[in-house]
Structures are given as C-alpha cells and as structure tokens.
Structure 1
Amino acid sequence: MVPLVALGMAGEPPQPVRLTVYGPAAATWASLQRIDQTLALAGAALVLLAVALCWLQVRVGLAPLRRLEALLATIRNPISAAQEGALVDVQAMLAAPTGRDLQPLQAELASLWEHNARVVARARAHASDLNHALKKPLALLSAQASSDAAVPAADVQRQVQAMAQVIDRCQARTFSDVLHMQAAMHPATAAQPVDVAQCVAEVVRMMERLHADQALEWALQVQDGTTPLWRGERTDLEEVLGNLLDNAGKWAASAVRIGLAMEEGDAAQPPQVVLQIEDDGPGMAPHHLQAAGQRGLRFDDSVQGSGLGLHIATQMVQAYGGELSLGKSALLKGLSVRVVLPGVQAAQRQRKA
C-alpha cells in the first residue's frame, strides 16, 4: 500500500489516484519464519548453555563444602569410614585449598579440630594419671591384706587419704581444663591476671612447712622493677609450683633457689614470665633429662613419689602455651627447671623489699 498521488490535466484541479502493487508473499513469509526459527533455536541454546554453566559453577563451587562434609563424617565415625575405605588424612584435608570465600570456614574447622584433639588427649592423660596414681596405694593395701588378715587402721586411713587427694587433684585439673576451654572460646570471661611473685611466695611458705625436717634454705629472687603477671587459673599455677617445688625439696641437700623475672615483649613477641627453680641435689644424668616428665617414669625409688608431678606440671604449662625445660644448675650443681609462660603487659613499678 502506497500513499495517494494527486494527478490531473493542465488547468484542471488534481485528482487523487490510489496505486496498489501486488506480488508473491511466499518468499517473504518464508524468510520471516526462518528468522523466527533461528531466534528461537538461538534463545533455547543460550538458555541451555546458561543452565549448564550455572550447574557447573555450583558443582565446582560446592566441591570444597562436599569435601568438608566428608571430612566431618569421617571424624564423626572413623571406624565406618575405615571399613568403607574412605578414611582420609584430616590434616591434609584441612590444609587443602578451598578458595577465598571458604577459607575462613576451613580455618575455623581446623582450629576446632585441633582444640578437640587437645581436649581428648588431655582427658586420656587425666584418666591414665588417675589410674597410675591409684595403683600404688591399692597395691600396698592389697599386699598388707595378703600378708596380714588384720590391716592396721592407720595404714588403711593413710592410703585412703592418699587416694582421696589424688582424686581431688584430678577433679581440680578437670575443672581447670573446662575453665581454660571456656576462656579460649570466650576471651571476655578469661581469668584475671595472677601476681606470680605472690603465688610463688605462698607456695614456698607451704613447702617450708612441708620439708621442715630437712632444714632447707628457700630463697626467692624477683627481678627488680617488674611485676610478673600471668593470665590463667591460679589453682593451675599453684599446682605447677607445688609439683616442681616439692620435687626440689625432696632431692635438695640444703638449698633451693627460685628466680622470677618478667621479659618484656614487643609487637611481634608478647611478654613472658620466666621461672627458674634450682636445687643442690644430685640432679639428673644427661640421658635422663630427655626422658624426664614422662607419665609415671622414675629414676630413683629412694624418695617417695608417684612419678607424676613433673609430667603433670609439663602438661599444664604446655596447655597454657608455655614451655618447661630441664637442665643442670650452674650455681647449685643440681637440677634446674625453667618454666616460661605467656605474661601480661603491666606498668613497671619498683618492688618493695
């Protein structure tokens, strides 16, 4: 259809004329149909391609989550996983790259795994320590009962009290572990800083009474101008000091020296509380120093004990991120025990004598 065209003779008004052109439309309609079909096929292909890419992206993106799911299933039921041949290396799985988005989740899972492993290891150690410590008084009672039908009441009472003390100490350590775990999960509820010098002085006074018959000289030297502070449960520090100082008092010939210092840190290294306990006893042979501290291990039965004190002290120091090392005292020629614990930054102040 075309617009009207005005035509006319000369001198006459133009007359409108309509011109209509006809032609075959089949070819035009065929071309339009082919265009529509091409557009429909292209649209369908694009939709399928988009769906496939989305599926592939989801599969690839969620692969680390599936690995973590398999890892958690393996940790939850390791026996079943081993039977199915699906046992994996937990540390390797937790160290595998997961991408920037999932890296925080992987780090938290790795931290949780390590924390739970430490808790389980300490629980097993507590149970083993309790078992080992109770065997000796029970064996003594059994031997007395086997040799004599009437066991003296005083002996029974003494062994019962020893077992009660062991159980109480084990319960205290278990409670301390719970508090330590809560403090790690909730730093705001962590224990208040402990004045290490004051705590050491109190334990030393108790040891003076405990080993009064040996007439030992107990000397405490605190680095001038510092206040050694440590954040943790005071009962744990007392447990460590009690075991170490009691061990020194048992073996010392005449003197025990306790040195206490605060090593200030910097941005890279936090402050440290350094405790040095030395005695003038026989000390340990070099090859014994490496094995000392193992559960129930004793090198000399001439002094009463269960062989657990040094092991317990080492465990508790390591639980707070510290270090305990043994050596020979350069001053007193006996055993030297060095304990390093994370300290708390405090203002310097002059200590009064």
Structure 2
Amino acid sequence: MRIEPATPPGPPAPPAPARAHSGAAWALALAQWPMATRIALLALVPMLLLVGAGGLWLRVQMHQSLLASFEQVLRDKAQRVGARLHLGPQGGLRESTGGADEFSAIYAGWYWRAQAGSDVLRSRSLWDMDSLPTEALTTTGSATLHRATGPLQEPLLSLTQPVALGQPPVQVTLTVYGPAAQLHSSMRQIDRTLVVAGLVLMLLTGGLAWLQVRVGLAPLRRLEAMLAALRAPQGAGPDVALHLAAPTGRDLQPLQNELAGLLAHNAHVVARARAHAVDLNHALKKPLALLSAQASAQPQVPSSEVQRQVEAMAQLVDRYQARTLSDALHAHPGSTGQAVDVRDCVAQLLRMMERLHAAQGLDWMLADDTQGPLHWRGERADLEEVLGNLLDNAGKWAASRVRLTLSVSVSVQGGAEHASLCLDIEDDGPGMTPAQLQAAGQRGVRFDESVQGSGLGLAIASQIAQAYGGHLQLRKSEELKGLGVRLEMRGLAPAGRTKTP
C-alpha cells in the first residue's frame, strides 16, 4: 500500500474582520487629524497628482517635438546626400563632386555612411573611420532615431533610410549622423523649467490652500468664540439666542440656529429648576414659621399640630419632586408616557375638590364642548397640578358655584395644524380688580392673607402651561361675574380634534 505524503498547509489568510478592523482604525486615525489639515490635503494631493501628470505629459510632448524637428533635419540632409550618390562604371558607389558643406570638415559632427552590399562609401568628415558605434534600440520619444557615438566620443543621433540607385534599382542603405549635444541640452533645460514651474505652482497652490482654509474656517472660529464667550464669567446673560444671532455664514447658519435653540432650551430648564427651588423654599417657610411661632409662644407644641405641618411639608416636597421629574421629561420629550384621558382626570379632581371644600357647599359644574375621545399627550402629574391649583383657588373664593369648561382650539403655524386643550375655570366670587389681574401670577403675591395659601398657584399653573407651548389668561367671568381663568396647552391627540369653539 502506498501512502501519499501530506501536503503542508499554506499560511492562513488574514481574517476579514481583522482587515476591516485595520481599515476602521486607519479611518479613525485620519478623522482625528485637524480639519484644516484634512482640507489642505484634499486640496493639495489632487493638485500634486494633476501637476505631476500634467508636467510629465508636457515633458513628453516637448521632447517628441524636439526629436521630430531633429529627425526632419536628418531626413533633409539624407535626401540631399542621396541625390549626390550614383553607381560607377564597375557598379561601385560614387559621390558627385560639389561644394563644401557640413560633411566636408573632418570630425565636424555631421557624418553619413552609404552601403550597397559590400561596397561602402562615407563622408569626408569621418576621415578614416569605417563606421560609428550605434545603439540597436531607438531613442525614447522617436521610432526612427538611434543613439550613436562620434569619433571624438560626442553624442550623436542617427537616421537610416534606403535609397534606390540606377537601373535596375540597387538598394543602398544610407545612414546620416548629427550632433545631439545641443538637443540634449535643450531637453535638460526643458526638464529643469518644468520642475521649477511645478514647484512654484505647488507653492502657490499651497499658499492658496492655506488662505482658503483660513477664510473657509473663519466662521467656525467665530462660532467657537461665541460659545467660549458663553462660558466667560460675565456670560451672555439670559438672551442666549440674541448672543448667537451674529452672522457666521450661510452654511453654518442652520447649525448656529440649532445650537441657539438648544442653549436657550437648557437655559429655560435651568431657570425652571431655580424657580422650583424658590417655590419650595417659599412654600416651606409658612409651616416652619407656624411651628416656630407656636414653640415661642408656649413651652409645648401639640403633637397634632406638629404632625399636620410635617405632613404639609412632606406633601410640598413630593409635589415639587413630581414637578422636577416633569421638567426632565420636557427636556427629553421622547420619554413621556401614554396620552392622558382628560375627562377621567377632570372627574377625579372635581370629586376631590367637592370633598376638600365640602363645608362651603359649592356647586361644581362640568361643561364639555368636545366630542369623541379627549386625550392629551403630556404628564398626568402636570395636568393634575395645574388643574388642582386653579380649581382650589376657585373653590377658596367662590360664593356658590364653580364651572369648568372643556374645549379644543386649533391653530395653524408654518402650514401645520396644532390642537390645544382649553380649560376654562370660572367662579361667582368677588373676582379681581384690573390692577390685581395685572399683578396676579407673580410668585408669592397674595391679595387676602385670611385665605390659606402660598401665593404660588397661578405662577405654577402659568409655568406648566408655558412648558407645553400654551399660556394662562385671567379675566372677569361674563356669566358668573367672578374670576375667569383660561388655560391652553398643546399636545392634544388627533382624536380630540373634533370641535373648535
């Protein structure tokens, strides 16, 4: 039995993921280069290739033109020499006598040699040399010229062409030589000129590329300076959008607008967070002041009073914690939950208000001017917060009736429709004077200290409405003659667009 030798395995091919990883690493390293360097390279590398290819093509064309011109000179001289050749009586090559020319002076640089079989005739300038060393390959740039070396070791170019003499015709091979030193010098001069011109062009292109990068990236530097100014101690103040309104160029204007919008939004979120802290501080001061006053007036404070005030403070902390969470959701709209059933939320709040103000015996009315499902895309805690503040305020001041009206408002902006949820809360209380209507909504402003409250309800409701692209409007109720509050908030689901008041 014959056992074939095992073929040794070849070197393993590199895995495709490794090659892909190396390509990704190279791209990452290139992406870390400065933008100015990448732009300059993108401009200079193609220009370098273009100048190199163009210079090479131009060099070839000019060399071929010089060689073609020299070849034509050799053809003319070969034609003139061929006209002087003839066959002698014995059939040998002869030259007609004539005047002196460039082939007459010994070693003048111009030579010719004619051969017919074994018979050879040469110019006087060759003197006693039978032939000249000639390269077999043609000269670069010409298909007929050959390099040769003269009697004085000077460079020559030769041209060979057949000549027919006598009857019947006898083929004679005529080779004409001409000095190539001047031609080679001209070709070297052309090469030097092209190299110098290419270098000058590259330097000029590099300077223009640098200038282009400086001018082209100037808007980015201006934008960078604007953003750096925002971090300065004095900053840009509250109006970030106005600070970023300086023109930086048409191409960067969309980016500048987006940055201005983002910074303005962040500034708004920070302002709301500060307002929350101020509101919580203001709201906690009252129960703490009551406890402090009772502790100063009597040696022992009733535990029930302490428990009541502690529960009130705990509710305040929970309330503002919920508002802080709502602000975080406003900063990231995609994290909001499902749409809120407005009717269900309103019904629960009205039942709670009936129990809270049961001692007053108020008539809580609900008027619904909408049809079909009514869903609002927002946080239920925000809707409960704003409605709870407004209904509680109406319950404190109403004489006998409080009415809540639901409606939908549709507006058109930028060619698109926007549906808003409208809530009208009216009571038959004393209402407000024009001066009070103008001052209402300011943080901590209260018009009657005998009514329990912190003076933050209308300010909080207005702030929540603005967070949802809406507004809060105070007026005198035409029907109930008390205070009328109209609240509009965007974010109504499409199913609620059934009726516009």
SS of 1:321's partner is coil
1:172 corresponds to which of 322, 331, 353: 322
Q: What does the per-residue CA deviation read over 1:21-68, in whole Å, with 9 as the maximum and x for residues that have no partner?
A: 559x45x55544443333222211211122122222222232233333
Deviations 1:304-339 (A, max 9, x none): 111011111111111111111100000011100000
2:302 to 141, 146, 152: 152
Corresponding residue number in structure 2 for 1:293: 441
- Correspondent of 2:359 among 204, 213, 227: 213
Task: Tell me the equivalent position of 1:49.
Answer: 204
Within-5 A mapping of 1:176-255: 176-182=326-332, 184=333, 186=334, 189-255=335-401
Pick 1 or 2: higher relative contact order, CA cutoff 8 A, min separation 6: 1
Q: Which structure: greater helix fraction?
A: 1
The structure with the larger Rg is: 2
Please say if 1:303 is aligned against 2:451. yes
CA displacement at 1:97 relative to structure 2:
3.8
* Structure 2 partner of 1:63: 218
Is contact 1:227–1:349 with CA below 8 Å preserved after alignment?
no
Structure 2 equivalent of residue 345 of structure 1: 494
User: Aligned partners of 2:470, 2:480: CA distance in 1, in Å?
Assistant: 25
Return the alpha-carbon distance in structure 2 between the equivalents of residues 18 and 177 of structure 1.
99
- The alignment status of 1:2 with 2:156, answered yes or no, reads no
SS in 2 for 1:3: strand
Identity of aligned residues (%): 58
TM-score by length of 1: 0.86
Structure 1 counterpart of 2:204, one-letter code = L
Whether 1:135 and 2:285 are equivalent positions in the alignment is yes
Over 3 Å counting, the alpha-carbon distance change for 1:250 and 1:42 in structure 2 is: same
Superposed CA deviations along residues 104-160 of structure 1, whole A, max 9, x for unmatched, are: 433332222122111100110000001111111111222222222222222222222
Tell me if the contact between 1:194 and 1:229 (Cα under 8 Å) persists in the aligned partners.
yes
Q: Does the 8 A contact of 1:218 with 1:256 survive in 2?
A: yes
The answer as to whether partners of 2:374 and 2:496 remain within 8 angstroms in 1 is no
8 Å contact from structure 1 (residues 94, 106) kept in 2: yes
Three-state SS of the structure 1 residue aligned to 2:430 is: coil
The change in CA–CA distance for 1:215 and 1:40 in structure 2 (over 3 A counts) is same
Q: Please tell me whether the aligned partners of residues 342 and 375 of structure 2 are also in contact (alpha carbons under 8 angstroms).
A: yes
Q: Compute the displacement of 1:248 (Å).
A: 0.1
For residues 284 and 206 of structure 1, the distance between their equivalents in structure 2, rounded to whole angstroms, comes to 26
Per-residue displacement from partner, 1:258-291 (whole Å, max 9, x unpaired)?
Answer: 1111234565331121111000111111111122
Q: Which amino acid aligns with 1:111?
A: G
Partners of 1:11 and 1:283 in 2: CA distance: 138
Partner of 2:18: none
State which of 100, 113, 120 in structure 1 corresponds to 2:270: 120
Deviation at 1:197, TM superposition (A): 2.0
- Residues 29/191 of structure 1: CA separation in 2 closer, same or farther (3 Å cut): same
- Tell me: CA distance 1:155–1:317, structure 2 relative to 1, closer, same or farther (3 Å): same
Q: Superposition pairs for residues 13-52 of structure 1, below 5 Å? A: 13=170, 15-21=172-178, 25-26=181-182, 28=183, 31-52=186-207
Code of the residue aligned with 2:272 in structure 1: it is R
TM-score where L is the length of structure 2: 0.62
Q: Is the 8 A contact 1:71 1:90 kept in 2?
A: no
Does the CA contact (< 8 Å) of 1:7 and 1:17 recur in 2? no
Q: Is the Cα–Cα contact under 8 Å of residues 223 and 248 in structure 2 kept in the other structure?
A: no
Indicate the RMSD between aligned Cα atoms, in angstroms: 2.7
The structural deviation recorded for 1:221 is 0.4
Q: State whether residues 264 and 345 of structure 1, in contact with CA within 8 Å, keep that contact through their aligned partners in structure 2.
A: no
- Greater Cα shift, 42-51 or 233-242: 42-51
CA shift, 1:191, in A, is 2.2
> What is the distance in 1 between the residues matched to 2:297 and 2:287?
15
> Structure 1 stretches of 5 or more lacking a match?
none
Question: Can you list the C-alpha shifts for 1:157-206, whole angstroms capped at 9, x where unaligned?
Answer: 22222211111111111122222323x2x3xx432221212211110111
Point out the structure with the larger strand share: 2
Please give the alpha-carbon distance, in whole angstroms, between the structure 2 residues aligned to 1:212 and 1:289. Answer: 28
CA distance in 1, matches of 2:354, 2:441: 24
Mark the CA change 1:163 to 1:50 in structure 2 (over 3 Å): closer, same or farther.
same
Give secondary structure in 2 for the equivalent of 1:270: strand
SS at match of 2:450: coil
Contact between 2:366 and 2:403, CA under 8 Å: does it hold in 1? yes
